[in-house]
Structure formats: C-alpha cells, structure tokens
Amino acid sequence: MMNILSILTEDEKEFLKKHNLSPSDFYDARGETAKVYHDKAKMVGCHFVINNCQYGHRLKGRSGHCIVCNPARIAFQKRDSKGGVVYVAVSGKYCKVGVTDEKNKTKKESLDDREYRLNSEGGYAGRTGWRTIKAWIIEKNGRTRQTLWGECTDANPKTVAKRYTIEKKLVPLQYES
C-alpha cells in the first residue's frame, strides 16, 4: 500500500493536522468513482479518500463529499462511525432521533442526561416535554440513525419505535410503553 503522506500536498497535510486526522484515515481513490472507492475504503477501514472535488480539492468522505469545502462532514463521518446509544424522543407531535456516545455512562444514565438537556434552557427546538420512547445500544450509529430519522419524517413517532429494533439490521419489534 502506498504511503498516503507522499501524495499529500503541504496544504493537505496542514488540513489533516488542523482537523486532527491521520493519513491512515485516508484511502487513495485517485481515478476511481465514488461507487468503486466507497466500498474499498470501508473494507480497509478508511473514513476518507483522496479523490478530486469539482473545486480542486482532493480530500473527501467515503460518500464523495469534499471535507475541505465542508469540514463539518468530518464530524459527521466520525460520529457515524462511532457506537453509542441511538434514541427516539418525542414532544407532542414532534420526533427527534439522536445519538449519545457517552461511553462512561450506562444506557439509562446517558438517556436521563439527554432528556434533561433536551428539556433545559427553553427546550430543544424551543419545545419542552421531550421524553425518550425507545433507545438502542449500537456499535456504529450512522445508517441506523439516518434510517430512523427518515421514518420520523414520514410517520407518527411512536410507529417508528413500534416497527423497528436495532441489532445488526433493522427488524420488526413490538412497541413497549
């Protein structure tokens, strides 16, 4: 495998340093399409790739989005690669799917803390009365959180918890009040 540092420009090395990224987080995807490099990078455990963006940058997330144009994507990728507790919280007709990665707390402590924060200082999104209706401990939260969030936008929040539980994939579940 090629040494990634040898193909990075000085500006790219500075970018990695500034954002606390390691060259080992990158897969050399020069000349490959997103469809090809996504699975290859994932298979070798790389969260990011080197591949041209339309504005002349070369550092991207596996999904193909430029992390130089939008550095917030670094946090998205890191968060989606971590485990934690994914939860569904409701306040009236509103639903929030979130994740907490506090490893030093139990699931209950983590959710109690999250409920407190959702309801403090005027409440999340200006609403109070948030309560957690379902939660799962998972190894990687990205796809799971995104799937549940998609369900929340199209359905009654309680049906989200009724229909799914999270293990290695989403499977039917009876709702527990």
Better-scored residue on pLDDT, 157 or 8: 8
Token pair of 63, please? 């999904």
Q: What is the pLDDT of residues 99-119, one digit of tens each?
A: 777 666 787 888 898 899 999
114: left (phi over 0), alpha (psi -120 to 50) or beta: alpha
Quick: pLDDT tens for 46-80.
Answer: 889 999 999 999 999 988 999 999 998 888 777 66
- How many angstroms separate the CA atoms of 160 and 79, rounded? 22
Kindly provide the b/e burial profile for residues 66-100, where b requires at least 16 CB atoms within 10 angstroms of the residue's own CB: bbbeeeebbeebbebbeebbbbbbbbeeebbbbbb
Query: Is a pLDDT exceeding 70 seen at residue 145?
Result: no
Q: What average pLDDT does the structure give for the chain?
A: 78
Find the angle CA(143)-CA(38)-CA(9) to the nearest 5 degrees: 120
Whole-number pLDDT of residue 169: 34
Q: What is the dihedral of CA 7, 10, 12, 18, to 10 degrees?
A: 140
Rounded to whole angstroms, how far apart are CA atoms 76 and 49? 15
The pLDDT of 15-30, averaged and rounded, is 93
Q: Quote the distance between the C-alpha of residue 36 and its chain's center.
A: 21
Better-predicted residue by pLDDT, 128 or 1? 128
Average pLDDT of span 110-137: 87
pLDDT in the model for residue 168: 31
Report the pLDDT value the prediction gives residue 161, as an integer from 0 to 100. 44
